[in-house]
Structure 1
Amino acid sequence: MPKFACKCGETLGFGDIPNPIEWLFISDSDFDAISGLVDSESLYCKMNSFLECPSCKRLWIFWNGFDADPLEYVLQKNEQS
């Protein structure tokens, strides 16, 4: 099963189906270009994936598929005055 280590030390796997830490998304423009009956497999192929680390809540977004490294997005903590 493919996996990698989050910067917090948690191991993130992206081979499970269904995957409880994987989210799929599509741009509004790409979605709007779809019309008529939709084949779920072709829609799935147009989507990008991100993994949410269950420990630190970082998002690891695979903008270019699973063959390329994901980009890391980190929550910004609010500073208390």
Structure 2
Amino acid sequence: MPKIRCKCGEVLRFGDIPCDIEYKFISDVEYDQYQGQIDAEELYLKMKSFLECKICGRLWFFWNGFENPPKEYELK
């Protein structure tokens, strides 16, 4: 199961489906390319993912897919 260690020490596991710490998103520009009937699988594949650490609230964004390291954002 894929995992990363948050800076607070929590291990974020994100291989389960569904995953309670993974969120999907798409840019407004990319979304506007879709009109009419939308293939849900095609849309899903265009979405990017981020993980939320339930301990400290940090967000870990996978801007370039899961094969590349995520970028960490700390909420203030």
Task: Give the TM-score normalised by the residue count of structure 1.
Answer: 0.91
Number of residue pairs aligned between Structure 1 and Structure 2: 76
Please state whether the residue corresponding to 1:30 is helix, strand or coil.
helix
Which protein is bigger by CA-based radius of gyration? 1
Task: Give the TM-score normalised by the residue count of structure 2.
Answer: 0.97
Deviates more, 1:47-56 or 1:32-41: 32-41
Aligned Cα RMSD in Å? Answer: 0.6
Please state whether the residue corresponding to 1:42 is helix, strand or coil.
helix
Residues of 2 paired with 1:41 and 1:34: CA distance?
13
Unpaired stretches in structure 2, ≥5 consecutive residues? none
Please state whether the residue corresponding to 1:43 is helix, strand or coil.
helix
Runs of 4+ in 1 over 6 A off after TM superposition: none
